[in-house]
Amino acid sequence: MIRTVVTAAEETVNPLLSAPYDIIWSAVVFVVALLLFWKFALPKMQNLLDERAAAIEGGIKKAEEAQAEAAAALEKNNAELARAREEAAEIREKARANAASLEIELKEQANEEAARIVTNAQARIESERSAAASQLRHEVGTLALDLSEKVVGESMSDERASGIVDRFLADLETQEAGR
C-alpha cells in the first residue's frame, strides 16, 4: 500500500506538467479505442439493432398473418356450420314433406286397394250368381223335361224339347216381370 502510494505520489508531483510519453500513450489508447468502437463494436451493434428491429417487425407481421388466417378459418367454419344447419333444416323439411306425401299416397293406395277388392268381390259374386242362375236354369229345365217326359210318357226330340223348355222359361220370366 505504502509503496503504491509513494509511486503514485511521485507520478503526480506536478499533474499539470505533462511528460511527452504521457501524451503519446494517451493518444495511442484513444486511437485504439476509437478504432475498436468505430470499426468494430458500433457497426456490429448497429447491425444487431437493425436485425432485431427486422426480427421484431417480422414477428409482428407473422403474428398478424396468423391472426388473419385464424379469423378467416373461423369465418369459414362458421359459414360451413351455417350451411350445414341450413342443409339439415332443408333435409328435415323435405323429409316432412315426403312423409306427408307418402302418407297421402299410402292412403290412396289403400283406398284403391280397398275399392279393387270390393269390385273384385262384387264381380265374383255377380259371376257366381249368374253361374248359379244358369245352372239352376239348366237343372230346372232338365227337371221339367224329365217331369214332362214322365207325364207325357214319350220322349221328345232334343230339339223340340229344348225349344219347349226355352219357351216355358221365357214365359216364366215374362210372368215374373209382369208381377
Partner 1 sequence: MRLIALLALVLIFWLGTRRLRLIPGRGQSLVEMGLGFVRTNIAVELLGEKDGKRFLPLLTTIFFVVLFSNLTGVIPGLNIAGTSVIGLPLVLAVVAYVAFMYAGIKKNPGGFFRNALLPKGVPWPLYIILTPIEFISTFILRPITLTLRLMMNMFVGHIMLVLFFSATHFFFLSAPGAMKLIGVGSLGMGFAFTLFELMVSALQAYVFAVLTAVYIQLALAEDH
List contacts with partner 1 (CB under 8 A).
Answer: 1-2, 4-5, 8-9, 11-12, 15-19, 22-23, 25-27, 29-30, 32-34, 36-38, 40-42, 44-45, 47-48, 51-52, 55
Q: How many C-beta neighbours within 10 Å does residue 149 have?
A: 13
Q: Enter the C-alpha cell of residue 113.
A: 286397394
Q: Is the Cβ of residue 14 or residue 157 nearer to partner 1 in the bound state?
A: 14
Min separation Cβ 62 and partner 1, Å: 15
Q: Alpha-carbon distance 56 to 104, whole Å?
A: 71
Min separation Cβ 64 and partner 1, Å: 20
Q: How many C-beta neighbours within 10 Å does residue 165 have?
A: 19
Q: Alpha-carbon distance 40 to 29, whole Å?
A: 16
Task: Round to the nearest angstrom and report the end-to-end CA distance of the chain.
Answer: 169
Q: Is the Cβ of residue 8 or residue 177 nearer to partner 1 in the bound state?
A: 8
Q: Is the Cβ of residue 30 or residue 146 nearer to partner 1 in the bound state?
A: 30
